[in-house]
Amino acid sequence: MPRDRQVHLLEITFMYSRPRRRRVLAAVSVLLLGALLSPAATASASPASPEAPDPARIDLVLDLSGSMNENDAGGQTRLAAAKQAVTRIIDTAPEQAPLGLRVYGATYPGQDKKQGCADTQQVLPVTPMDKAARADAKQRVAGFKAVGFTPIGVSLREAAKDLGTSGKRRIVLVSDGDDTCAPPPPCEVARELKAQGIDLAVDVVGFRTPSSARTQLKCIADATGGSYADAEDADSLTANLGTLFRKGWRTYHATGKPVAGSLAGCQDAPLVTPGQYLDRFTGGRDLYYKVKKRPDQRLQVSATAVAEEGYSRGSIITVAAGPPGDGEPRAWLREFDQSMGWANIISTGGRSKPGSGNETPAPDDTGCIVVENKVTKSGDKPMPVELLVGIADKTTQGAGARTPQPRTGADAEGGFSFNSATPIGPGTHRQSIAVGEAPFWRVELKAGQKLTVKAGVDIPADFPDSATAGWAVTVYNAQRESTQCNKDNRLTELLAGRTGHIERVCGPWEVTDQDEAKSSDSKGYDVPGTYYIQAQVAEPHAKAKGIVVPISLTVDISGTPRSGNSPVFHFGDDTAQGPSQPGANGSDKQGPSPTAAAKDDASPVGRLALPIGIGAGVLVLAGITFYALRRSRAAS
């Protein structure tokens, strides 16, 4: 959340600001929000190693009826456009994502309805998209021909069988017309699947469909809790199909190095070296870790917790570090962040002050990190937490870290975590997202540069309204700490029943340096490095989730970088601030690429990870004000 924040609640506004070292909440808002708690996967052989839940199993059902040969899809046939879109899905599918492919109307060109309406085949079993499976799938797609009938209902029944009977499953149907084989009517089949209590939804893309077919296809999606989107050409088909697949694959996916923080204080805490780790909260318990840092080095600690539906208002996480001893460690750094109820992550981070004379030394250079858990309604279910640890010392002052090549066009589609945030440069980037998604992008900024972010969304005329729905843009600095968006302090641009194009502008803000006298500390733009941009439709009506909306993201970077000797933090791996290879936004998995770390026995190469979905729901209590005041005074 931005440091200066505003919460909208039934058109009543409450504001508070929070300076870096002494933060005081001036008011707290109350709102009831429902959310589900999503458990992390069970631990591996190492103790308490939280992992991401298995991604949804997805079966793509593709229409290859004769009408797909129509040459009206933006200068090419519908079939050619469909091949392009499906190939894109195969190329960008994460390796661990189980994907299958079923077609109908592909083999029988005759007029016998009985034969034509039985023409449905599973051409690719539901399997993770490793290199071999990916190559096989693309080869099969290249050979597709469109010749026959349109047995949608029969194909949906068979697709459900393809996916099995356990876990999260989705069918993504692409069709350009009505079912020509009913019975069974497709919508009745959809209701039949739903009535079986199967955890399965059908998303539908209507490709140049007439109004009669659109009604039928929307009914399929509505009956199963899926989404519907229209497409008129290859580009829109590719975008909308990709958006529907990301719903099953691209929640905040966690991979990386597991760690089990101590629940009983610093004494029994594990030692963490520069890198990114994955742990988990339970029942409001704090997590402790040991870290080695010499007095001449600087420490960065960032913590991120992620929810599927958004946190309860007032949920707080805090990171602090310092020498172990009586009370909580905080002599080196302390930062916190509070959820306003709509964001799917709570993320905060801090850095120690420069210079050995500015801090309390630790015995044997071993300090303690604590991640404080004040997430309301957390219960006893695991809540994954990402911990990023970095070290900078004199040997790394001014050292060059690898900067990824900015992407454009389709390759600039937002990723779904800090690690998979898509690198972009100045300019305007367009894509579509499903309501409920919250993609990330990243830009590199140096002291002296100014950042302006303008994000727009096109809200359809029939968009289900919600009193608290809005268009939200969040900018996070290099500490993964949210910054102020603009001087009006609002978190979101409220929709309030509006439709059409709605824009939200953040900035311009000048990036300074923590060591500079004119630091913009209170706004969060005092840390040169990687900045992250996240956009989403906040607090949508439940019926709005899954609706595909076009968005635009315009980034402007002005000003002249100033020369200086800012510290460069190393996180155990030069991918710590995000991927740099094309296509990495389709998968969070990255290979190791060691880099020089700080010269200390506390700096071997680590690996990165990203947390995954949890949830929370509910109520902010006025007691949070007391908590923040007490913590702020204690920190001072």
In a domain, 354, yes or no: yes
pLDDT value for 384: 83
In a domain, 584, yes or no: no
CA triple 449-451-453, angle to 5 deg: 165
Tokens for 335? 């930062």
How do residues 146-187 score in pLDDT, each as one tens digit? 999 999 999 999 999 999 887 778 899 999 988 999 899 999
For the chain, give the mean pLDDT: 76
Residue tagged 């591996």 (tokens): 44
Question: Which DSSP state fits 131?
Answer: H
The verdict on 69 and 217 lying in the same domain is: yes
In a domain, 622, yes or no: yes
What gap in Å lies between CA 28 and CA 42, rounded to an integer? 36
The verdict on 501 and 549 lying in the same domain is: yes
The verdict on 316 and 266 lying in the same domain is: yes
In a domain, 217, yes or no: yes
The verdict on 26 and 158 lying in the same domain is: no
In a domain, 581, yes or no: no
Residue 248 — very low, low, confident or very high, per pLDDT cuts 50/70/90? Answer: low
The verdict on 347 and 457 lying in the same domain is: no
The verdict on 139 and 109 lying in the same domain is: yes
In a domain, 13, yes or no: no
- CB neighbour list of residue 254: distance below 8 Å, 6 or more residues apart: 40, 50, 51, 52, 278, 306, 384, 386, 417, 588, 609, 610, 611, 612
- CB neighbour list of residue 147: distance below 8 Å, 6 or more residues apart: 64, 65, 66, 105, 106, 107, 108, 109
Helices (H), 398-552: none
The verdict on 332 and 348 lying in the same domain is: yes
Judge whether residue 595 has pLDDT over 60: no
Residue 95 — very low, low, confident or very high, per pLDDT cuts 50/70/90? Answer: confident
Q: pTM score, two decimals?
A: 0.64
Once rounded to an integer, what is the mean pLDDT over residues 491-518?
84
Radius of gyration of the chain (CA): 25
* Domain membership of residue 108 as a residue range: 57-249
What gap in Å lies between CA 522 and CA 528, rounded to an integer? 15
pLDDT value for 358: 62
What gap in Å lies between CA 95 and CA 93, rounded to an integer? 6
- CB neighbour list of residue 468: distance below 8 Å, 6 or more residues apart: 8, 9, 31, 342, 494, 538, 539
How do residues 137-148 score in pLDDT, each as one tens digit? 999 999 999 999
Please report the DSSP string for 575-631 in residue order.
Answer: TTT---STTGGG------------SSTT-------------------THHHHHHHHH
Task: Please classify residue 47 by burial: count the beta carbons closer than 10 Å to its beta carbon, then call 0-12 exposed, 13-18 middle and 19+ buried.
Answer: exposed
The verdict on 175 and 290 lying in the same domain is: no
pLDDT value for 255: 62
What gap in Å lies between CA 204 and CA 214, rounded to an integer? 10
The verdict on 413 and 344 lying in the same domain is: no
> Could you say which of 189, 218, 249 is where a domain stops?
249
Indicate which CATH number applies to the domain containing 69.
3.40.50.410
pLDDT value for 379: 60
Bond preceding residue 274 cis, omega within 30 of 0: no
List the beta strands (DSSP E) in 421-575: 422-423, 427-434, 440-445, 450-459, 470-476, 492-494, 500-510, 529-538, 548-558
pLDDT value for 12: 23
Please report the DSSP string for 4-61 in residue order.
Answer: SEEEEETTEEEEE---SSS----------------PPBPP-SSTT--BPPPPPEEEEE
- Low-confidence winner among 28-37, 252-261, 279-288 (lowest mean pLDDT): 28-37
How do residues 426-439 score in pLDDT, each as one tens digit? 999 998 887 878 88
Q: What is the β-pairing status of strands 200-207 and 169-175?
A: parallel
The verdict on 445 and 508 lying in the same domain is: yes
> Could you say which of 218, 249, 280 is where a domain stops?
249
- What residues are paired with 320 via a beta bridge? 334, 370
- Low-confidence winner among 8-17, 321-330, 581-590 (lowest mean pLDDT): 8-17
Indicate which CATH number applies to the domain containing 433.
2.60.120.380
The verdict on 215 and 304 lying in the same domain is: no
In a domain, 524, yes or no: yes
Question: What is the count of structural domains for the chain?
Answer: 3
Q: What is the β-pairing status of strands 12-16 and 5-9?
A: antiparallel
Tokens for 276? 């990114």
In a domain, 105, yes or no: yes
What gap in Å lies between CA 311 and CA 614, rounded to an integer? 9
CA 276 and chain centroid, separation = 17
The strand order across the sheet containing 333-338 reads 287-292, 366-374, 316-322, 333-338
The verdict on 238 and 271 lying in the same domain is: no
What gap in Å lies between CA 423 and CA 253, rounded to an integer? 18
